[in-house]
Chains A and B, each alone.
Chain A
Amino acid sequence: MISLAGRDILQSWSKFVLTGIGLGLLIGVTLTMAGVYRGMVDDAKVLLNNSGADLWVVQQDTQGPYAESSSLRDDVYRALLGLPGVARAANVTYLTMQVRQGDTDVRAMVVGFEPGQPGEPGYLVAGRHITRNHYEAVADIKTGFQLGDTIRIRRHDYHVVGLTRRMVSSGGDPMVFIPLKDAQEAQFLKDNDAILNERARTAANPSLNRAGVPGLLEAIQSSQNANRNVNAVLVQIAPGATAEAVAQEVRRWKHLQAFTRVQMEEILIAKLIATSARQIGMFLVILAVVSAAIVAFIIYTMTLGKIREIAVLKLIGTRNRTIASMILQQALGLGFIGFLVGKTAATVWAPFFPKFVLLESGDTMRGFVAVMAICALASTLAIRAALRVDPATAIGG
């Protein structure tokens, strides 16, 4: 028995293939849109993974350090290290800012971390970790910086000694890692003009610049320029202890806020990127509906185009089942080609997106099932039309 569907496809294969490719690009766009959404969520998750922390300790009544600003004294970590169940604790600062290199600047999240402690990039793709405790940087490859580059953050130049990959903030900005002390300076120290103005302002205050108390002004000014704040303390839990128990302890006795991994993920995904994720999700739904409609129409019109041939088939006594299976096979074939093209296209163009696009295999599988289901569903419409054809049209015209 010959395959009717195969024969028909061979008859007009260029049309079939081109339709399949067109359909595939549409499916590719839909898959990419799903990837953009997954990418946003993944950005938030890698931020948490890369920090290597089990517990985030931040300022009381804030949801920092990512969703809100938080400020802690940098000696808090010593008190935390003394708590039972805490294996390691380290200060960390986060600041999103423009990092300059020559004439251009790159938007990046500057992370101040302590080498060898939580917060350090977990793996590098090139170069080495920081060995000096000042003026060295590890940059994400997305910043475009190369090993050996000199970049400028506020008042100091930093040498790029290492490169990382997929180290991004929840907003997708690539990270630049610098030593904590430098980051504290960069975050809280102002530019030279601002410092000079601040000094003049202090000096103009008669209660701070008193004739009878030499040295008072200098003392006040030097205390204004010192900064002992960080944004969060990252805590790793000792084996055997639970994060929630330690977090309870911190909240109750240290009067600080502590978030476990689950809570942090909740904050990032449910609060920080909620609106933009919903925006993308809405768009994704519309795109999926439109794609389904287009697939249905393509198959329908394809069948209508063959209405005379179907009439001839009917005239020579072909059974309805055979005709229906031909249309279904063609629809599924079209869907299959479309899916392959779409998946390939999405994977090919995904890396060129400025923000991360994550094509999950689960999404791909779901996409495949959906495409096949839509094709099958759409073909019923076409089959109905085909079966209604009067065989007489083959000769009547």
Chain B
Amino acid sequence: MKLDSLYSRKVGLSLFALLLLVGFGFVIARSGPLAPTKVTTTRVEAGKVSPALFGIGTVEARRSYFIGPTVAGRVQAVHVDVGEQVKAGQLLAEIDPVDLDERLRALDAAHARAASAVAAAKASRTDAVAKKALAELNARRYRELGEKRFVSASAVESKQQELSSAQAAVEASNANLQGAQQEVVRLRADQDGLRQQKDNLRLLAPHDGVVISRDAEAGSTVVAGQAIVRLIEPDSLWLKVRLDQGRSRGLAVGQSAAIVLRSNSSTQLPGKVVRIEPLSDSVTEERITLVAFEQIPAGLTIGEMAEVTVQTAAGQSGLTVPNAAIKQTPQGAAVWKLEDGRPILVAVKLGSASLDGFVQLVAGLASGDEIIVHSERELSEGGHVKIVEQLAGPKK
């Protein structure tokens, strides 16, 4: 009895000691400096990388019109409102003509007076012509009489002089008439000019379009060039997209793009790169690209944000590595390669990358090499690693 209980106690105590030691050993092996770093690995394989660019754009109109006066003035009326469709030539707004009408009336009167002056000049010319005809008769008669010595030479010369004067009077009245007629032309031109000025105060639509803003109301004063109404051509809406310079390699006109509007984030709309601005933004280090819709969606608003993915090249085959495996060092990109179960850092040369996280491998590794993708902490050359299926997230 006594021996038995002693024996069972011995067994119990050694069991406890064993349990404690196993637990402690487990703890030491699983944590601390002796524990292996858990990693997930993959093999370098041939795959397809379809390089693409992602950028943010806003909807803009390719052609927009700022309708405003050419001189400063006060707005008399605005005839259209925001959202209205307008036709080319439609009256959009009018500027107060101030005294233009009065000046036009004055010119009308001046024109009438000039017409009267023409009539007067014509009459005085007729009179001069008649006087000249008489002077010619007289001069001829006195010349004949003078030749027959019936009158004195001085009388003949006097009649001759009268003829010259009459001729001069005719020329003078001709010139008068011409002057009066030119005055009429001048006044008519003045009238036309003033009328055009008046027309210029009527602001017309230069093109079919939609009014997007009404910036001034009747009674407000605007300066030359200030917009009263803004028009856009709704069929010229496109996207101004900003793409990171650092990744914009391969971007070209004509590449297809997928557009996701913020108002409809579940639908992808097809589009196309239609222009790459030759000037890129040096401050934000972005390239500016214009992407047109294949078909402009209904209800599109200017200034709406859109996410644009441009397919910069067709799928390229070759060795690929996931970008989670790449480690950037001051010497360039590198990858942790598993050699005999130990990680070593191998410098690699990378090509184009796709948006789904795969990067083309140009040099550094061979097909079938095992590389480390994820690791639970920073790896060290030749460190102890343990390969697991996955490190985080729900079990597959």
B13 touches which of A9, A147, A181 (Cβ 8 Å): A9
What residues of chain B lie closer than 8 Å to A347, measured between beta carbons? 27, 30-31
Question: A-B pairs with CB below 8 Å: how many?
Answer: 117
With A124-B374, A131-B357, A134-B56 in contact, is A348–B391 under 8 Å at CB?
no
With A131-B54, A340-B21 in contact, is A163–B223 under 8 Å at CB?
no
What residues of chain A lie closer than 8 Å to B244, measured between beta carbons? 133
Task: Please name the 8 residue pairs, one residue from A and one from B, whose CB atoms are nearest each other, closest first.
Answer: A128-B357, A132-B54, A125-B391, A87-B330, A126-B392, A214-B226, A347-B27, A133-B244
Which of B22-45 touch A at CB < 8 Å?
A: 23-24, 27, 30-33
Q: How far is the CA of A134 from the CA of B54 in the complex (A)?
A: 8
Interface 1/0s, chain A 211-236, versus B by CB < 8 A? 11010000000000000100000001
Say if the beta carbon of A329 comes within 8 Å of chain B: no
Q: List 23 A-B contacts (CB under 8 A).
A: A13-B12, A49-B378, A87-B330, A123-B375, A123-B378, A126-B393, A127-B357, A128-B322, A129-B323, A133-B54, A134-B307, A135-B307, A141-B392, A161-B357, A162-B324, A163-B393, A239-B331, A340-B21, A340-B23, A347-B27, A359-B31, A361-B33, A364-B32
Of all chain B residues, the one with the shortest Cβ separation from A117 is: B328
Are B13's CB and A17's CB within 8 A? Answer: yes
Say if the beta carbon of A38 comes within 8 Å of chain B: no
Which of B201-234 touch A at CB < 8 Å?
A: 221-223, 225-227
With A10-B6, A10-B10 in contact, is A132–B330 under 8 Å at CB?
no
What residues of chain A lie closer than 8 Å to B24, measured between beta carbons? 340, 343-344
Shortest beta-carbon distance, A156 to chain B, in Å?
9
Q: B226, B328, B354, B378: which has the most chain A beta carbons within 10 Å? A: B328
Interface 1/0s, chain A 51-78, versus B by CB < 8 A? 0100000000000000000000001000
Q: How far is the CA of A123 from the CA of B21 in the complex (A)?
A: 34
**Given A49-B378, A212-B223, 13 extra CB contacts under 8 A:** A10-B9, A13-B13, A126-B391, A127-B324, A129-B357, A162-B324, A214-B223, A236-B330, A340-B20, A340-B24, A344-B20, A344-B27, A347-B30
A166 touches which of B31, B328, B354, B377 (Cβ 8 Å): B377
What residues of chain A lie closer than 8 Å to B357, measured between beta carbons? 127-129, 131, 161
Shortest beta-carbon distance, A145 to chain B, in Å?
10
Q: How far is the CA of A341 from the CA of B24 in the complex (A)?
A: 8
Interface 1/0s, chain B 320-338, versus A by CB < 8 A? 0011101110110000000
What residues of chain A lie closer than 8 Å to B54, measured between beta carbons? 131-134
Shortest beta-carbon distance, B23 to chain A, in Å?
5
What residues of chain A lie closer than 8 Å to B6, measured between beta carbons? 10
Are A131's CB and B16's CB within 8 A? Answer: no
A238 touches which of B222, B330, B390, B391 (Cβ 8 Å): B330
With A127-B324, A236-B330 in contact, is A10–B247 under 8 Å at CB?
no
What residues of chain B lie closer than 8 Å to A239, measured between beta carbons? 330-331
Q: How far is the CA of A387 from the CA of B378 in the complex (A)?
A: 57
Q: How far is the CA of A135 from the CA of B283 in the complex (A)?
A: 21
What residues of chain A lie closer than 8 Å to B27, measured between beta carbons? 343-344, 347-348
What residues of chain B lie closer than 8 Å to A116, measured between beta carbons? 328
Q: How far is the CA of A10 from the CA of B391 in the complex (A)?
A: 45
Are A181's CB and B284's CB within 8 A? Answer: yes
Q: Size of chain B's interface in residues, with CB distance under 8 A?
A: 54
Interface 1/0s, chain A 3-14, versus B by CB < 8 A? 000000110010
B contact face: mostly helix, strand, loop, or mixed? mixed
**Interface residues of B, Cβ cutoff 8 Å to A:** 6, 9-10, 12-13, 16, 20-21, 23-24, 27, 30-33, 54-56, 221-223, 225-227, 244, 247, 283-284, 307, 322-324, 326-328, 330-331, 353-357, 373-379, 390-394
Shortest beta-carbon distance, A178 to chain B, in Å?
14
Say if the beta carbon of A292 comes within 8 Å of chain B: no
B9 touches which of A13, A49, A124, A236 (Cβ 8 Å): A13
What residues of chain B lie closer than 8 Å to A123, measured between beta carbons? 327, 374-375, 377-379
Q: How far is the CA of A344 from the CA of B225 in the complex (A)?
A: 81
Which of A119-158 touch B at CB < 8 Å?
A: 120, 122-129, 131-135, 141, 146-147
With A120-B328, A146-B394 in contact, is A17–B16 under 8 Å at CB?
yes
What residues of chain B lie closer than 8 Å to A120, measured between beta carbons? 328
Shortest beta-carbon distance, B396 to chain A, in Å?
11
Q: How far is the CA of A359 from the CA of B376 in the complex (A)?
A: 17
What residues of chain B lie closer than 8 Å to A126, measured between beta carbons? 374, 390-393
Are B307's CB and A165's CB within 8 A? Answer: no
Of all chain B residues, the one with the shortest Cβ separation from A78 is: B285
With A128-B357, A359-B31 in contact, is A165–B377 under 8 Å at CB?
yes
What residues of chain A lie closer than 8 Å to B247, measured between beta carbons? 133
Q: How far is the CA of A337 from the CA of B23 in the complex (A)?
A: 12
Q: How far is the CA of A117 from the CA of B326 in the complex (A)?
A: 12
Interface 1/0s, chain A 329-363, versus B by CB < 8 A? 00000000100110110011000000000010100
Say if the beta carbon of A199 comes within 8 Å of chain B: no
Q: How far is the CA of A335 from the CA of B16 in the complex (A)?
A: 15
What residues of chain A lie closer than 8 Å to B355, measured between beta carbons? 131-132
Q: How far is the CA of A237 from the CA of B323 in the complex (A)?
A: 24
What residues of chain B lie closer than 8 Å to A146, measured between beta carbons? 393-394
